[in-house]
Chain A
Amino acid sequence: EIVLTQAPGTLSLSPGERATLSCRASQSVSSNFLAWYRQKVGQAPRLLIYGASIRASGIPDRFSGSGSGTDFTLTISRLEPEDFAVYYCQQYGSSPPWTFGQGTKVEIK
């Protein structure tokens, strides 16, 4: 089972600032099968990025994903009020179980 470790645990930033979130895998993620989700309080997670760098439908271009192998990054170029939430990475390699990181909370500074 691939273990995903996200850092930092909490990121304190102001609206308009840039956020950089990290996701590190315990072994290489095949074909860059990595996704990112945003979860607002009281809501289900929503897909932001899949294939490490492909924005999902309707996701604004302030969200970008990068990385390969074991190191992946989600960047939010300018934080909007709705971006203060918890972010999860997920790997979906060839075989189950598909696993999630423990989450990074982006909070208002």
Chain B
Amino acid sequence: EPQLVESGGGLVQPGGSLRLSCEASGFMFSAYWIHWLRQTPGKGLMWVSRINDDGTTTNYGDSVKGRFTISRDNAKNIVYLQMNSLGGDDTAMYYCARSGNTYYGANWFDPWGQGTQVTVSS
């Protein structure tokens, strides 16, 4: 059964950095696009970033572009999200999720990890 497990969340000061990890198991990791999403009580669910199967193509939401970097290590079945210049608006539960299928355009999310909480506060 495909599974994703996030780690790396925590409390960070404004302007600080954090790196999230998403470890995958139970499926052919190198065949799938992987996404990061985040959720807050106020703004709901928001797509953050994605990376293609071999790591050569990435996309970002406007609110994180230039501050966040997504990458992957297919030998370790891990996707990373490096987050820099963090602000209060970045406080959220962060989820990684797999694209629903291996073909281009299958940008529904299944499965999701359990999430890791990021809190930006002094």
Contact = CB atoms under 8 A, between A and B. Distances in A.
Interface stretch (B15-23, B24-32, B81-89, B102-110): B102-110
B62 to A, nearest CB: 7
A100 B95 CA distance: 14
A31 B110 CA distance: 19
A18 to B, nearest CB: 25
A88 interface: yes
A31 B108 CA distance: 13
Nearest to B93: A44
Contacts of B109: 35, 37, 45, 47, 90
B9 interface: no
Contacts of A37: 109
State which size class the interface on A falls in: 20 to 34
Interface string A28-39: 000101010100
A99 B111 contact: no
A100 B108 CA distance: 11
Contacts of B50: 96
A45 B111 CA distance: 9
Q: Among A44, A96, A102, A103, which residue has the most Cβ atoms of chain B within 10 A?
A: A44
Interface string A79-109: 0000000001010101011111111000000
Contacts of B108: 33, 35, 47, 50, 90, 92
B11 to A, nearest CB: 20
A44 B105 contact: no
Interface of A: 31, 33, 35, 37, 43-47, 50, 56, 88, 90, 92, 94, 96-103
Interface of B: 44-47, 50, 59, 61-62, 95, 100, 105-115
23 contacts: A33-B108, A37-B109, A44-B112, A44-B114, A44-B115, A45-B45, A45-B95, A45-B109, A45-B112, A46-B111, A46-B112, A47-B100, A47-B109, A47-B111, A50-B100, A56-B110, A90-B45, A92-B105, A92-B106, A92-B108, A96-B47, A101-B44, A103-B45
